[in-house]
């Protein structure tokens, strides 16, 4: 009986205790949709200095339980540490502010990205990746019709 208890402790409890102090790392990117088409294209540019927030809410009552802001680097990527496991919450990376006044309208549907911030899901890495999020440029580039035609031709080949 004691052997079984020690085995259970070694297999279940010890790994949880060891990883409990490790922060989770959230990585993602922010782009400007220069063609106003609702997704990344060859003409999209990545925004340095855009502000992003991690927001976690309780599954029970949707109240905000955690938030942290970060800023994108020169290539439009952000990295944020989340110090605690958020297993009882649902968490999103959310666009806060664009660094480009000509590209500052959040793209509905691409303005947030769900991020699973728990270790109780079988993922061994501490890194979590959020889908790219985007802002819409005020006026589409003149070259966008050519770019979108390329995507349409590729779709016809499928």
The verdict on pTM exceeding 0.75 is: yes
Q: Are 93 and 113 in contact (CB under 8 A)?
A: yes
Is residue 16, in this structure, part of any structural domain at all? no
Pull the structure tokens for residue 134. Answer: 């985007």
29, pLDDT greater than 80? yes
- pLDDT tens digits, residue range 130-154? 999 999 999 999 999 998 888 776 5
Is residue 11, in this structure, part of any structural domain at all? no
C-alpha 153/C-alpha 158 separation (Å) is 9
Q: The domain that contains 144 carries what CATH number? A: 2.60.40.10
End-to-end CA distance of the chain: 61
Check residue 22 and give its pLDDT.
85
Phi, psi of 41, deg, nearest 5: -130, 180
Check residue 16 and give its pLDDT.
47
Is residue 31, in this structure, part of any structural domain at all? yes
C-alpha 74/C-alpha 42 separation (Å) is 18
Domain that holds residue 40: 22-157
Q: How many domains does the chain have?
A: 1
Is residue 149, in this structure, part of any structural domain at all? yes
Is residue 51, in this structure, part of any structural domain at all? yes
Q: Which of 18, 43, 21, 19 is nearest to 31 (CA)?
A: 43
Is residue 79, in this structure, part of any structural domain at all? yes
Is residue 17, in this structure, part of any structural domain at all? no
Is residue 15, in this structure, part of any structural domain at all? no
């Amino acid at each position: 009986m004691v052997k079984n208890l020690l085995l259970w402790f070694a297999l279940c409890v010890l790994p949880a205790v060891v990883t409990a102090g490790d922060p989770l790392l959230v990585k993602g990117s922010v782009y400007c949709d220069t063609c106003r088409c609702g997704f990344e294209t060859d003409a999209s540019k990545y925004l340095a200095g855009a502000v992003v927030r991690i927001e976690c809410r309780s599954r029970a009552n949707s109240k905000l339980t955690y938030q942290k802001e970060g800023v994108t680097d020169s290539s439009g990527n952000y990295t944020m540490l989340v110090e605690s496991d958020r297993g009882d919450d649902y968490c999103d990376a959310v666009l806060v502010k664009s660094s480009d006044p000509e590209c500052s309208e959040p793209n509905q549907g691409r303005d947030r990205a769900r991020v699973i911030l728990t270790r109780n899901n079988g993922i061994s890495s501490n890194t979590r990746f959020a889908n790219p999020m985007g802002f819409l440029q005020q006026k589409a580039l003149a070259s966008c019709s050519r770019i979108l035609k390329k995507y349409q031709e590729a779709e016809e080949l499928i």
